[in-house]
Amino acid sequence: MSRPFHRILGLSLTVALGLGAAAMASPPKHKPSHPAAADAQQVIPPKTVYWLSAVTQNGFGMGGRPPSSGDLMKMAMGGGMGGVQKQLSLDLGSSLAPAGAPEASHAIPPTMNMGKALALRSPRPVSGTPSRGTEPEPEHRDFQRPKGRILLFWGCGETARPNQPVVFDFSKLAAGQIPPDLFAGEVVRVARPPSAATWPTYGVWPNEDRGSRQSVPADASLVGAHRVTGNYTPGMDFTLDQDWMGALNLVQTRLPSGALQLDWNGLPGATGHFAQLMGASRNADGGSDIVFWSSSETQTFMSGLTEFIAPGEAARLVERRYLMAPDQTRCVVPREVMAATRGGLISLVAHGPEQNIVYPPRPQDPHIPWVQDWAVKARFVSRTGAMAGMNMPMGDRNARTDPARCAPRPSGASMLGGALGGSLGGALGGMLSKPIKPDGCPN
């Protein structure tokens, strides 16, 4: 297959998945409701909002970032991914106009071990003139219609459910023909943090400052008193009693049937779990079969279930069986999924709690309007990921070293990268061409 095929196919899939994910992950737009009843309290939203998004990351996760070539090389050589990482994103949005250039700062508690304050920088306006080298590439005459399919599986269990997989022709996706049932399933209501596109004035951390791109210390804690100040925000004083979630410890076991058993530790504060696998293999026509599996009990595809999900929405999705329950710590990837893909990437997400603070507090008298000055949202999630059949260092290296699991086999990463193209394809393509063994197996 030619390089133009990979580039165009990767772009087509990216556009198709982006449109579908946006449709599935965004809340439906509601029309204005009828006038409130006479005794209903009037609520006036805040002019300034501040979001803290805290991620606990072990290994790599498809809900976070794709693995880099260095990540994959480390894993192929039996190494880890640097252990558990704490990640933090801060987003400040305001409708207040600054006096001069926007400036804002977040004074942090000593327990974070990151100095006294974090500077929130406003992104520089982007010029509308395309820079040199960004012009679209000319159409390639040697473009070939891709030969491949998407195989869609879902549900935990050793055996796939009846009428699985659902098959989608890759060539139709590349031609812009998105099957109407590709993104079938529940609409996942995912709230988006403030951004430069949604607020007149916006500040963010990490940002262009080199110091802000340093790793969060392993012993950092968000618990304590915080204060946000600036020339486009009121002074926001708040205290957090929630902290980064614990790390997920994923242990994989190849069952005699060929299915892959996933076990993990329960985490305090978890509101639901979601697992998925993405892999690839060659099909009889010489194309690539892209294999997607999720732990949902209902068909779902790129639906936003790996994103931050509020506790109330997580409870609804657990009831609808799109998310696994907070106390569930085992799921089996069906044998048909493992047979359809040579390798693959596993990701597991534990959705966590939120802490929401609004100032001033709601008036007790419903006849007094609640004029909100500012609002803070702190949200938490824990993620982990690994190659299918390869346990991360946190797992029990001596457990479940059966011959079937430890048998050398070629990785599907290179096929997956070649089929997907784009940034993920660039990370995966050409890597791990040699046979690999799961972590914990003898060399």
* The residue to which tokens 């950092």 are assigned: 220
Question: Per-residue pLDDT averaged across 296-310, rounded?
Answer: 87
The two tokens of residue 126 are: 């982007």
pLDDT score of 282 more than 90: no
Cβ atoms of 392 and 386 closer than 8 Å:
yes
Local confidence band at 326 (pLDDT 50, 70, 90 cut-offs)? very high
Give the residue from 168, 196, 383, 178 showing the smallest Cα distance to 290. Answer: 168
Q: In 141-198, which ranges are E strands?
A: 148-154, 166-169
pLDDT score of 284 more than 90: no
pLDDT score of 49 more than 50: yes
Give the integer Cα–Cα distance in Å for 420 and 67: 14
pLDDT given for residue 146 in this prediction: 54
Give the residue from 63, 60, 87, 64 showing the smallest Cα distance to 72. Answer: 60
Among 8-22, 145-159, 195-209, which range has the highest average pLDDT?
A: 195-209
Beta strands at 104-107 and 117-120: parallel, antiparallel or unpaired? antiparallel
pLDDT given for residue 127 in this prediction: 55
Q: Kindly report the average pLDDT of the chain as a whole number.
A: 76
Among 65-69, 173-177, 292-296, 425-429, which range has the highest average pLDDT?
A: 292-296
pLDDT score of 429 more than 70: no
pLDDT given for residue 104 in this prediction: 97
Question: How many other CB atoms are there within 10 angstroms of residue 244's CB atom?
Answer: 21
pLDDT digits (tens, 9 = 90+) for 356-415: 999 999 999 999 999 999 999 999 999 999 998 877 554 333 333 343 334 443 344 444
The two tokens of residue 222 are: 């968000």
pLDDT given for residue 392 in this prediction: 59
- Which one is predicted more confidently, 286 or 34? 286
Give the integer Cα–Cα distance in Å for 394 and 21: 32
pLDDT given for residue 48 in this prediction: 98
Give the integer Cα–Cα distance in Å for 441 and 405: 8
Among 296-310, 345-359, 392-406, which range has the highest average pLDDT?
A: 345-359
**Phi, psi of 409, rounded to the nearest 5 degrees:** -155, 150
Buried b (16+ CB within 10 A) or exposed e, 10-42: bebbbebbeebbeebbeeeeeeeeeeeeeeeee
The two tokens of residue 227 are: 């204060």
Give the integer Cα–Cα distance in Å for 340 and 325: 27
Give the integer Cα–Cα distance in Å for 278 and 343: 9
Question: Per-residue pLDDT averaged across 111-126, rounded?
Answer: 90
Q: Which 3 state secondary structure label does DSSP give 193? A: coil
The two tokens of residue 438 are: 């799961």
The two tokens of residue 240 are: 């957090």
Amino acid making up residue 19? L
- What DSSP element (H or E) covers 251? strand 251-254
How many whole angstroms from its chain centre is CA 260? 22
Radius of gyration in angstroms for the set of CA atoms belonging to the chain, rounded to a whole number:
24
pLDDT given for residue 330 in this prediction: 98
Cβ atoms of 87 and 54 closer than 8 Å:
yes
Cβ atoms of 183 and 53 closer than 8 Å:
no
Local confidence band at 117 (pLDDT 50, 70, 90 cut-offs)? very high
pLDDT score of 204 more than 80: yes
- Which one is predicted more confidently, 433 or 262? 262
pLDDT digits (tens, 9 = 90+) for 206-248: 998 888 887 899 999 999 999 999 999 999 999 999 999 999 9
- Which one is predicted more confidently, 268 or 66? 268
End-to-end CA distance of the chain: 34
Local confidence band at 287 (pLDDT 50, 70, 90 cut-offs)? confident
The two tokens of residue 299 are: 């068909």
Give the integer Cα–Cα distance in Å for 147 and 286: 7
The two tokens of residue 288 are: 């690539």
29-43, 93-107, 382-396, 407-421, range with the lowest pLDDT: 407-421
127-136, 244-253, 299-308, 388-397, range with the lowest pLDDT: 127-136
pLDDT given for residue 124 in this prediction: 78
